[in-house]
Structures are given as structure tokens and as C-alpha cells.
Structure 1
Amino acid sequence: MLLTQPDHSHRRIVSVGMFDGVHEGHRALLRDLLDKGAKLHLRPAAVTFRCHPRHLVKPGNRVAMLMSLDERIDKLHRCGIEDVILLDFDEKTRMMSARDFLVMLHDSYDVEAIVMGFNNRFGHDRPEGIEAYREIGAPLGIRVFAAKEYRCDPSLAVSSSAVRHLLASCEVKKATRLLGHPYRLAGRVVHGKELGRTIGFPTANIEPLDSDSVIPGNGVYAVKVHLPGGITRPGMLNIGHRPTVDSPYAPPSIEVNIFDYDADLYGKPVAVDFIAFMRHEQAFESIGELTRQLAADRDEARRLCLNG
């Protein structure tokens, strides 16, 4: 259930966070939440925010998001979370102390327990350490539990920030390990210059549905494309400036060559799963050289998608 107003229908246990990407660390936290909820006979809920707090705190430094709000809510429900408590991070919320925030959760949503993620802190006073939160929660009747740090690999700390950094660095396979699934970019097909069609590699130009979406680093990727009608096809996607055929001052574009598919997609929604990074953009001496490289890229993308 999505809750945007106070609700007293259930006694609840919650975790608080943006849950952007609902990555492996989030899912480990949510499993702990579900387990404790079952033992305490409390309904599991996730408390999240409509927009990233930094959009208010540092409006000139917006955070690119791994998921849209709707995707986040759907993924949380799929993880077994019964209720998603959706809050607006406004000036009032920003000025709440940790105690004020816990009082609000207790009085508005009957929260009786909270599972805090590793290094998770909230409240403008940002108390240090789990014991400080326990001291605040105890008089309110809120039990505070600490989740252990989750690592899918000793060398890789799992966080939404780490995933964003990996995608910006074109390291999509490492990002997939942290997310537990390939990064997906949702968009709509828009008109482009149609240069690819003239050399035998027609492309669909993708405009992200959410302007705050994370865009991986420039280069050529093997991808799986989710099309209208439930169809999925492999493809190769380029992010960047097309240095062989375009001016170096041309705006960056996102273009995907979809294999074994030739329907009209203009104006229609698509979603792209990033399977593997293949190469950086490069300028070729001739269109013929570019075409030969694209043919090799296509073969490599097919192989990677088949194995990925």
C-alpha cells in the first residue's frame, strides 16, 4: 500500500531511506526488516521521499537517480514491503530533529520499531551511532535495530552513490553486481538525424523519461531493449557525440541499434538494460571504417547479450 497521509490501520516496523536503485544492500536491509517484522508481529514498511533531499539542500547540485519514483515503489513492494510511506522532503522535514522525526512516524503511522541501515542517520541533528537513536526511541516506545553492513564483494561497498560512480565510469558489469540487476534507462523514441539508416545501422534516438535519470558514461554498450508489446531484443547503444559523422560541438545523444526489429517506434516508450561496456567513442577515418567497426560491435553485442 502506498501511504501519503497518516494511517493507523497497522502497527509497523520501518526502514528509512531513498532506496534509489533498490540495490543489493537495500535488499539485505529489507530482508532484515521482514524478518524482524515477522518476529515482532509488525507490518513491514519503507519510509522514503518523493525527491532526493539534496534537491532541497543543494538545488544547484541535483542527484541523478537510478530509478523513477514509480519504479522505486514497485521494486520495494516486490521485495515484500507491505507499505511504502511516501514523504515530501520539504523545509519542515529538513528542520526536524531525529526525535521529531521518530515522533512523527510513531504518531502518524503507528511505528513501533525501526531497522537502521549501516551508517544511516537522519534528523537535522544527525545523532552519532545507533545507541543515540535507541536512547531517543525508547521513551517513545520505538525499538531501534541496527543492520549489518552488506558487501557483495570485499572490495566493493554497496551504495547508490557507488553505483552512480560506476555507471559514470562505464563499469556497467560492476554496477550490475551492486544493483543485483542491469541498470535500466527508460525513455521515449524521438526523431534524430537518421544517419545510421544510411549506412545500414538504423538507430532509435532515446530521450530519457526522467530528466534526473543517471546517464552512463559516453561509449558503446551491449544492451537489451524492452519494446512495446512485451518484446525484448538485443542491441548496441551509443552515448556521446558521434565524432565520425557529427561536429565535436554537437549535443550528446543516446542511440540504440535494435537487432532483428524494424517497427516504427517514434513517440513510443522503451527501456534499455545495460549489459556490458564495449568501447569508448572514437573518430574513424572514413564511413567504411566506421561501418566495419559497427559490424564487429554488433557481433560482440549479440554474444554479450546471449551470455548476459
Structure 2
Amino acid sequence: METIRLHHPQEKENMNLPASAAAIGFFDGLHRGHQDVLGTMIAKAEENGLKKAVITFDPHPSVVLNPKKRRTTYLTPLDVKLEMLEDMGVDYCFVINFSSALAGLSPDTFVFQYIIDMNIKEVIAGFDFTYGRYGAGNISTLSEYGAFHTTGVEKLAVDGEKISTTKIRKDLLTHELESANHALGRPYEVRGVIVQGEKRGRTIGFPTANIEPEYRYHLPAKGVYAVTFRLDNEETVYKGVCNVGVKPTFHDNLERVSVEVHLFDFDRSVYGENATVHWHHFIREERKFSGIDELTDHISRDKQKAIKLLENL
């Protein structure tokens, strides 16, 4: 997949792009609703002999448009999203810098510069996609241009509620992990590097791998989870129990959240290696215990519960 990064204003005279079908959107999470849009794009491209393309943005538009609710953490950070799109067979990904200048474009200017001038013949977007200054452009206005064909993909809902990145983010913060994973169509994942921690877990019989997230992920809420874990240089998938939190039994005012995974049947030093954690089930909220004995007793219970939850995985 070729990734083309664009800034406004952008010189594009020498791009000489082949005709393509393009799915357009932010696509954070690449959840099941996004997969419908991308699947429609792939079908249109193959039906019409076009290249498969995606138009996305960086950073999230809320950084420019909504300072009170700006989104600076992601379900799928850009590099991860690009890898996933490549795995889906996308030929081109246009990453447009979402700036004040871009947000101020008229709908017509956006269409001519970022769709027509890029030789896009099929545009596929979600039913609620908007573009141009004040979001004045939408699926209906896109269909009025004669230079390309437009397809709007209807919402995908579960129990009457639209699958959305906003809902998934909320579910992760309210321990509704199964709901988030169902909307994603896969277990939520976070990539990171294994770093040295306080090494307290080893002294109480539960050694942990401390994960420093590689990107600005939207982490699940503080608590204990049943997870799987894979080192980047191995195919083996390990099972474990993960604590996301501030370790209140040992710290009164620690603000920085850590991600610590105790793996079953694993006893190796892997500091410095890259790994991915997949979240499967929520077990309990993080809490402060009276001392080491109470803590280790609860960790033992957490481990047994995680073993049970993951046994049929």
C-alpha cells in the first residue's frame, strides 16, 4: 500500500494517480461499521476495475473543531490503522492533515481538490459523513457532482444503537468490554514495549510484563482483565491476567496509569521486546487492599477466573 500524506494547500500536479474507488472517513477503530464502508469500497473497485483507496485524516477533526471534547487518544493510532488497511488489500491511503485551513474550505473546494483532482471515480462513505466549512457538505451534496459516483453506507446497529467509535470509547471506560469487542469485531488491542517496572510482582509470586504503550491509545478503564498476549517476533499466543491502574495498595497519589500483565506458564526475561495485549473479559475494578496477603489472595482469584474465562478461546 502506498501512503500519501497531504497538507493544505497542497501541490498535486505530478501525482498522476490512477482511477480509484475511495472510502472516506476517520475510521478510528476500524469497527464493524467501518468494515461495511471499506467492504463496499473494495466491491466497487473490483466491479469497476479501479484501485482501492482510503481517504482519512490526522489528527482527529475534534482537535480543530471542538476544543472542549478534543480527541487525542485513539482506538487505532494512525500507524496501526495503516497496517490494518494494507492487510485489507488497500492500494492507496491518502492521509490529509486536518488543520484550520482544511476545516475552512468550502465544500466545493474540498471536493475538487481532494476527490476530483485525485482521479477518484467512486466515493464511499458512511451515511453521516460531512465535509467542508461547518460540515455543510454531506452524502446528498456529494452525489450532485458529475465527475464521480457516490455511495452512502447505512448505519450498522446493535440492539437499535449505532455502532460508533464514540460508543466503543465509552464502553471501554465503563468496563463494558464485551460490548466494545462485539462492535469492533475483534478483541481490543494495545501495542507496546516491555519495560522494567517496580518488580514487586515477582516478589509476591506474580511476575508481570509491564507494557509501555507505543502510541496514544485509549486505554480500558482501570481494573483487572483476562487477556491474551503476543510478542511481535513470535507466533505463540499467551494467556494472562492484566491490571490497568495506579497500584493503590502501594501508592497513594500515583496518577500515571500502568499496564501490567501476569502471563500463565511463562518465565522469561523479555525487556525491550514489542508485544500486543488483547483484552477479552473484564474481571473487577482496581481497588486498594489492606496489605500484601489480601492483595495476593485476590490476584490468585483473578488468575483462576481469567483461566476459566479464556479456557475455550
Q: Normalised by the size of structure 2, how large is the TM-score?
A: 0.89
Cα deviation, 1:240-299, whole Å, max 9, x if unaligned, reads: 122223224453322111121122122222110001100011222332222121111111
- In structure 2, distance between residues paired with 1:205 and 1:3: 32
- In structure 2, distance between residues paired with 1:71 and 1:228: 14
1:176 maps to what in 2? 181
2:39 maps to what in 1? 31
Question: What amino acid does structure 2 have at the position aligned with 1:17?
Answer: G
- In structure 2, distance between residues paired with 1:252 and 1:52: 23
Are 2:156 and 1:150 aligned?
yes
* Contact 1:225 1:270 (8 Å CA) reproduced: yes
Question: Offset at 1:59?
Answer: 5.7
Match of 1:74 among 59, 62, 83: 83
Structure 2 vs 1, CA of residues 265 and 183 (structure 1 numbering), >3 Å: closer, same or farther?
same
- In structure 1, distance between residues paired with 2:65 and 2:141: 24
2:289 maps to what in 1? 284
Mapping for residues 179-198 of structure 1, pairs under 5 Å: 179-198=184-203
- In structure 1, distance between residues paired with 2:83 and 2:191: 15
Structure 2 vs 1, CA of residues 35 and 252 (structure 1 numbering), >3 Å: closer, same or farther?
closer
Question: Offset at 1:107?
Answer: 4.5
Mapping for residues 1-16 of structure 1, pairs under 5 Å: 1-4=1-4, 6=12, 7-16=15-24
Structure 2 vs 1, CA of residues 3 and 219 (structure 1 numbering), >3 Å: closer, same or farther?
closer
1:54 maps to what in 2? 62
Tell me the secondary structure at the aligned position of residue 81 of structure 2.
helix
- In structure 1, distance between residues paired with 2:282 and 2:115: 46
* Contact 2:227 2:277 (8 Å CA) reproduced: yes
Question: Offset at 1:176?
Answer: 0.7
Structure 2 vs 1, CA of residues 183 and 294 (structure 1 numbering), >3 Å: closer, same or farther?
same
Cα deviation, 1:35-64, whole Å, max 9, x if unaligned, reads: 222333332211012322223345673331
- The total of aligned residue pairs comes to 303
1:97 maps to what in 2? 106
Cα deviation, 1:3-54, whole Å, max 9, x if unaligned, reads: 4164334111212111111110011111111222233333221101232222
Structure 2 vs 1, CA of residues 156 and 262 (structure 1 numbering), >3 Å: closer, same or farther?
farther
- In structure 1, distance between residues paired with 2:175 and 2:23: 31
2:9 maps to what in 1? none
* Contact 1:243 1:283 (8 Å CA) reproduced: yes
Question: Offset at 1:150?
Answer: 1.4
Extract unaligned runs of 5+ from structure 1: none
Question: What amino acid does structure 2 have at the position aligned with 1:89?
Answer: F
* Contact 1:50 1:86 (8 Å CA) reproduced: yes
Mapping for residues 156-171 of structure 1, pairs under 5 Å: 156-171=161-176
* Contact 1:16 1:47 (8 Å CA) reproduced: yes
Structure 2 vs 1, CA of residues 18 and 130 (structure 1 numbering), >3 Å: closer, same or farther?
closer
Tell me the secondary structure at the aligned position of residue 53 of structure 2.
strand
- In structure 2, distance between residues paired with 1:106 and 1:250: 45
Aligned Cα RMSD in Å?
2.0
Are 2:230 and 1:222 aligned?
no
* Contact 2:129 2:138 (8 Å CA) reproduced: no
Question: What amino acid does structure 1 have at the position aligned with 2:211?
Answer: I
Answer with 18-27 or 71-80: which moved more: 71-80
Cα deviation, 1:193-238, whole Å, max 9, x if unaligned, reads: 111111101112221111x211110100011111243132111111
* Contact 1:203 1:257 (8 Å CA) reproduced: yes
Question: What amino acid does structure 2 have at the position aligned with 1:93?
Answer: L
* Contact 1:187 1:209 (8 Å CA) reproduced: yes
* Contact 2:127 2:139 (8 Å CA) reproduced: no
Question: Offset at 1:114?
Answer: 0.8
Question: What amino acid does structure 2 have at the position aligned with 1:226?
Answer: R
- In structure 2, distance between residues paired with 1:106 and 1:185: 33
Question: What amino acid does structure 2 have at the position aligned with 1:126?
Answer: G
Question: What amino acid does structure 2 have at the position aligned with 1:2?
Answer: E
2:94 maps to what in 1? 85
* Contact 2:107 2:137 (8 Å CA) reproduced: no
Identity of aligned residues (%): 29
Question: What amino acid does structure 2 have at the position aligned with 1:23?
Answer: H
Question: Offset at 1:191?
Answer: 2.0
- In structure 2, distance between residues paired with 1:66 and 1:298: 26
- In structure 1, distance between residues paired with 2:224 and 2:74: 21
Q: Normalised by the size of structure 1, how large is the TM-score?
A: 0.91
2:249 maps to what in 1? 244
* Contact 2:33 2:163 (8 Å CA) reproduced: yes
Question: Offset at 1:300?
Answer: 1.2
